[in-house]
Each structure stands twice: as C-alpha cells, then as structure tokens.
C-alpha cells in the first residue's frame, strides 16, 4: 500500500511538471497604420490558435473580444486611449500587455 501511495505521488508530480512547461507567450506590435498585431504561442512550440483575446480600456471595460487565428495571430484597431491586451489560455496561462508597451 505504501508503494502505491509513493507511485501515485510520483505520477502526480511528473504530470504537474509537464503542465508547468506549457508557458504562454504573447507579443503585440503597433503596425503604424492604426492597427495592432498580437502573436502568441506556448513555450513547447504549441499553436495558440483559438486562444481567447480581450482588449480592455483604462477603466477595465471590455472593448473587444476575439480569438487567435489559425496562424496564432490577433489583429485589431488600436484604441485611442489607454488599453491593455489579455491573452487568455485558461487559469495560469494568461499574458497581459499594457498598451503603453506596444510601440512602433
């Protein structure tokens, strides 16, 4: 029985380590034409296709919602005021980028 508990614990730790290795990556760029392009993925090389993308204004109001394309890209019209972009692949897999950090 003791070996079963040890084996279960080891299996859990191995699976937990695998989940941690799947780190989200997202970068956004000002295209200089009034649009912003975000590219995403994961540290293990996985695609971000279908990952939820949200754009919030400076007062934390959701102003745009979409998903990463088949090419793991999300493009939108650059807001005139303060904003932030959130790449949301689920709990523990979120990336937030301030609009002030997205420059030409």
The domain locations on the chain are 23-101
Topology classification of domain 23-101: Immunoglobulin-like (2.60.40)
User: Is pLDDT at 4 greater than 70 in this prediction?
Assistant: no
Please state the pTM of the whole predicted model: 0.78
Summarize pLDDT for 33-86 with one digit per residue, the tens. Answer: 999 999 999 999 999 999 999 999 999 999 999 999 999 999 999 999 999 999
DSSP calls for 65-80: EEE--TTSEEEEEPPS
User: Is pLDDT at 91 greater than 60 in this prediction?
Assistant: yes
Assign 101 to helix, strand or coil: helix
């Amino acid at each position: 029985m003791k070996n079963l508990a040890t084996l279960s614990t080891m299996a859990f730790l191995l699976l937990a380590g695998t989940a941690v290795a799947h780190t989200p990556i997202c970068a956004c760029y000002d295209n200089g034409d009034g649009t912003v392009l975000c590219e995403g993925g994961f540290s293990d090389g996985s695609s971000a296709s279908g990952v939820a993308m949200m754009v919030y204004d400076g007062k934390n109001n959701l102003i745009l919602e979409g998903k990463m394309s088949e090419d793991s890209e999300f493009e939108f019209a650059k807001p005139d005021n303060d904003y932030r972009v959130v790449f949301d692949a689920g709990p523990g897999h979120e990336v937030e980028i301030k609009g002030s950090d997205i420059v030409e």
